[in-house]
């Protein structure tokens, strides 16, 4: 078992705990050793939990007694630096936050994981206040992609994506208000799902309000389903929480996709996609057909909602400035400060118009999914680019949203959407397949991903280089 820690799944770890072939102590110790070895090259962690080994010893005693305290007892998890975690600092990647604490509260998702017996081994990096689709910040510096440390892992859950790619922990918490789970999963060759808005409680509320979803980032769809079975529980502190009647996340997937109708849109009708990425996605579509699905090549029929998204996003970013004085504003990531100040120019009428456009898009996609079980697209139109840049240095882009056109539309509609690794591009870098279902149909995403994983080769990054100079 020790030889397989770098590819071990949470489902596999729990089986090992139950059978007595694996100890939580051995697993946690291995994770911490590999974090110490690999993190200097990728900068995925803001801090590591010094209490993890003690918690693992307690978990081992419970398993030896045949009395695990919950469904994740002893499983190592990570929490994003935007998410409150008792005993560990939540700095949000910003020098405007205090290092003093006290760190006395768990967010609902952190508390649900701990109540299930999971062991928080550390906090993962995010851009300042999670504002962009790459991961670097004034407090902790640049996070790098394990596949090539010159490149970005994406963001804003870039630390979680990099950690998941190297299996530094088995379950990783991400957040996604415009693609922040799916972008890094595509760039790092991992699986992640933005569940239907409201399934996973969020408190304190995101500045991006109902655009922001919390969800898992893992190496397999089964591990994400396991994590959702724990974190998708109501919490009274979340004023936006959805129906308490969530699905049974552990429902076994079907044996095939016979009877499924899947819409494949190679470019949503308006996106330019790199040819080598398009080729890998086309090959994945063939697997869906081999699994028995009827695949129709059709665009979902909406124009690019970038202006609508930006109006809501910029207005949300402005809230951060209202809490900061002039000196603190001068410490902010210049790109974030620019977007927040652009948000100050959003008029009430423009904001309300964006909300109306959002509702129209949501209704359009609800009607679309009456005909199709899934919409499948590429996750990203481009490959990972040089770390430390908000947009590809040689590209035509101004803002991060300009190069993430497949992700943010489905934050507007609050649908479940996942990124599944489907191959490597011509540079040997991961390519993501984007699976989208109608609201509350999350199991369709998870089950299709589970079946596709059996057809597609698993992706494991090469050993990371020595610490980046």
Distance (Å) of CA 53 to CA 23, 31, 91, 121, 296: 12, 10, 24, 9, 51
Residue owning tokens 């579509």: 285
Alpha carbon distance 258, 107 (integer Å): 41
Using the 8-state DSSP alphabet, how is residue 220 labeled?
A: S
Phi, psi of 156 (to 5 degrees): -85, -10
370 classed as catalytic: no
Alpha carbon distance 215, 231 (integer Å): 8
Question: Which residues in 230-244 are b (16+ Cβ under 10 Å) and which e?
Answer: bbbbbbeebeebbee
Other CB atoms closer than 10 Å to residue 137's CB: what's the count? Answer: 28
State the DSSP H helix or E strand holding residue 311, giving kind and residue range, or none if neither: helix 306-322
Alpha carbon distance 386, 87 (integer Å): 34
Q: Which residue in 80, 132, 194, 444 is the catalytic one?
A: 80
First to last CA, the chain: 34
Other CB atoms closer than 10 Å to residue 160's CB: what's the count? Answer: 40
Contact 302, 265 (CB under 8 A): no
Alpha carbon distance 263, 14 (integer Å): 36
Measured in whole angstroms, the distance separating CA 80 from the mean position of its chain's CA atoms is 10
Q: Which residue in 59, 94, 126, 156 is the catalytic one?
A: 156
Which residues face 262 on adjacent strands?
295, 374
Contact 378, 431 (CB under 8 A): yes
Contact 446, 454 (CB under 8 A): no
180 classed as catalytic: yes
Measured in whole angstroms, the distance separating CA 19 from the mean position of its chain's CA atoms is 31
Phi, psi of 76 (to 5 degrees): -75, 130
Contact 40, 102 (CB under 8 A): no
* Residue 160, CB-side half-sphere exposure with 13 Å CA sphere: 38
Distance (Å) of CA 390 to CA 127, 213, 245, 258: 10, 22, 39, 42
444 classed as catalytic: no
Contact 284, 262 (CB under 8 A): no
3-state secondary structure of 17: helix
Q: Which residue in 157, 180, 206, 224 is the catalytic one?
A: 180
Provide the annotated active-site residues.
80, 156, 180
């Amino acid at each position: 078992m020790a030889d397989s820690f770098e590819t071990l799944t949470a489902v596999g770890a729990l089986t090992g705990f139950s059978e007595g072939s694996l100890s939580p102590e051995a697993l946690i110790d291995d994770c911490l050793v590999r974090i110490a070895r690999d993190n200097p090259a990728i900068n995925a962690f803001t801090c590591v939990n010094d209490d993890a080994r003690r918690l693992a010893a307690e978990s081992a005693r419970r398993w030896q007694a045949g009395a695990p305290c919950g469904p994740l007892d002893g499983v190592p998890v990570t929490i994003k630096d935007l998410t409150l975690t008792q005993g560990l600092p939540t700095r949000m990647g910003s020098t405007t936050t205090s290092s003093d604490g006290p760190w006395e509260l768990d967010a609902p998702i952190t508390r649900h994981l701990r109540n299930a017996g999971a062991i928080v081994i550390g906090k993962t990096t995010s851009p300042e206040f999670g504002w962009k689709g790459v991961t670097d910040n004034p407090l902790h510096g640049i996070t790098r992609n394990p596949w090539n440390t010159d490149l970005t892992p994406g963001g804003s859950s870039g630390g979680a994506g990099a950690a998941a790619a190297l299996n530094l922990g088995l379950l990783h918490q991400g957040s996604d208000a415009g693609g922040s789970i799916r972008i890094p999963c595509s760039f790092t060759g991992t699986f992640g799902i933005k569940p239907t808005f409201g399934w996973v409680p969020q408190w304190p509320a995101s500045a991006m309000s109902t655009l922001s979803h919390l969800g898992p980032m893992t190496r397999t769809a089964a591990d994400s389903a396991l994590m959702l079975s724990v974190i998708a529980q109501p919490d009274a502190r979340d004023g936006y929480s959805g129906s308490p009647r969530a699905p049974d996340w552990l429902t076994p997937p079907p044996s095939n996709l016979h009877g499924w109708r899947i819409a494949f849109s190679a470019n949503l009708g308006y996106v330019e996609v790199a040819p080598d990425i398009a080729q890998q996605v086309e090959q994945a579509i063939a697997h869906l057909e081999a699994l028995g699905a009827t695949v129709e090549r059709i665009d979902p029929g909406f124009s690019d909602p970038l202006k609508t998204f930006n109006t809501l996003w910029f207005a949300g970013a402005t809230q951060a400035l209202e809490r900061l004085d002039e000196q603190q504003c001068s410490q902010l990531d210049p790109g974030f400060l620019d977007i927040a100040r652009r948000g100050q120019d959003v008029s009430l009428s423009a904001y309300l118009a964006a909300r109306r456009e959002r509702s129209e898009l949501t209704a359009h996609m609800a009607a679309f999914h009456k005909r199709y079980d899934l919409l499948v697209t590429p996750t990203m139109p481009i490959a990972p680019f040089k770390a430390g840049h908000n947009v590809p240095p040689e590209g035509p882009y101004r803002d991060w949203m300009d190069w993430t056109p497949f992700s943010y539309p489905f934050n507007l509609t609050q649908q479940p959407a996942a990124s599944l690794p489907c191959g490597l591009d011509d540079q040997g870098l991961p390519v993501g397949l984007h699976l989208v279902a109608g609201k509350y149909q999350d199991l369709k995403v998870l089950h299709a991903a589970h079946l596709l994983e059996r057809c597609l080769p698993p992706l494991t990054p090469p050993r990371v280089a020595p610490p980046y100079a």
